[in-house]
Amino acid sequence: MRADILIVGQGLAGTLLGWELERAGLAFVIADDGHARAATRAAAGIVNPIAGRRLVKSWRIDTLWPAARALYHEIGDALGGALWRELRVRRLFADERERSALAQKRASGELAPFAGPGDAEGFWIAPAGGVDLAGLLAGMRMRWQAQDRMRTGPVRIEEELRQHELVIDCRGLATAREGGFGFVPWEYSRGERLEIAVAGLEPDVVINRRHWVLPVGPGAAWVGATHEPGVTEGTPTVAAREALTASMRSLLKTEFSVTGQRAGVRVHLPDKRPAAGRHPEQAGVGVVNGLGGKGVLWAPFLARQWREHLTHGTRFDPEIDVRRFAR
């Protein structure tokens, strides 16, 4: 299929970008080599509005949450299956500092409306949500294969520019290391999760104390995630397996067995914001990257930014514009 726009990488960022371009009626194709170290391979798809040991409310969660939820429902309807699930998070205190942080932030109101009832052990976070990332990526891949929009195999950006007016690089780690955006201060971390067999969990409750456990079906759950700054090797490790197993023994207080393990490399940025937009010197090259652990929440916003830019000439939001690093 001849198209003006090439999206490189069909992870979460590339998939949602493709969806927005399809809805806008723009001609595009996607090239994907199924990169083994892609962060999406290990991601759990959780949207948790309050995260971290300092109990920080996610950036722009009040506006990004409803937009993301609506988009995943929309795609699920188009694919004929539910992708979004409503969740609650039972956040357990890891120490007295977290307990004090909650008290202070409740008093200021900064965690509203997501911080729910609490007790001596922790508190509830709601609403929260989860996305079936495997179903999303597989469903859209089949859709675009049927439309003759999908290509497989490696991509050389400079060669693709001879065939397309715009190449948008959404490959995550590969973009950061090879994609011509060397002026951006990319940072990396390896994240790993386990798959476990366990009984007795509430089906729509994520339990979180430094690590989390997410029920994914009868008698099954995912456990995560580790964080190894600076590591770009996406191979599962014994150390992560042992750390997560020990954490779950303390958290769950019930028998479980490990049935699988996945690893991926996150790409993020020092200012804790993602990046999207055109290259400052090569207008025919664009990017979506730096989603870190917030991809499910941020990717819909970045895809919509590209859609508005391409259809109405709208400038990218300065807080996420990749050109903010080119000064």
Tell me what pLDDT residue 1 has. 46
Comparing 9-13, 49-53, 177-181, 276-280, the range with the smallest average pLDDT is 177-181
| Rg of the chain (C-alpha set) | 20
User: Is position 279 within any domain?
Assistant: yes
User: Is position 289 within any domain?
Assistant: yes
Give Cα separations from 64 to 50, 174, 265 (angstroms). 14, 27, 24
- Please check the confidence at residue 37 and state whether its pLDDT lies above 60: no
Q: Which of 37 and 125 is assigned the larger pLDDT? A: 125
pLDDT tens across 281-301, in order?
A: 999 999 999 999 999 999 999
Give Cα separations from 127 to 69, 103, 143 (angstroms). 11, 20, 31
User: Is position 180 within any domain?
Assistant: yes
User: Is position 11 within any domain?
Assistant: yes
What is the value of pTM for the model shown?
A: 0.95
User: Is position 19 within any domain?
Assistant: yes
- Please check the confidence at residue 58 and state whether its pLDDT lies above 90: yes
Mean pLDDT score of the chain: 95
Could you give the number of structural domains in the chain? 1
Find, among 261, 259, 258, the residue nearest to 234 by Cα.
261
CATH number of the domain to which 137 belongs? 3.50.50.60
- Please check the confidence at residue 50 and state whether its pLDDT lies above 50: yes
In this prediction, residue 316 has a pLDDT band, given cuts at 50, 70 and 90, of very high
CA 12 to chain centre: 7
User: Is position 249 within any domain?
Assistant: no
Give Cα separations from 35 to 11, 173, 234, 243 (angstroms). 9, 9, 10, 26
pLDDT, average across residues 83-95: 97
- Please check the confidence at residue 35 and state whether its pLDDT lies above 70: no
- Please check the confidence at residue 115 and state whether its pLDDT lies above 90: yes
User: Is position 238 within any domain?
Assistant: no
Containing domain of residue 155, as a range?
Answer: 5-43+133-185+270-325
CA distance 236 to 148: 34
In this prediction, residue 206 has a pLDDT band, given cuts at 50, 70 and 90, of very high
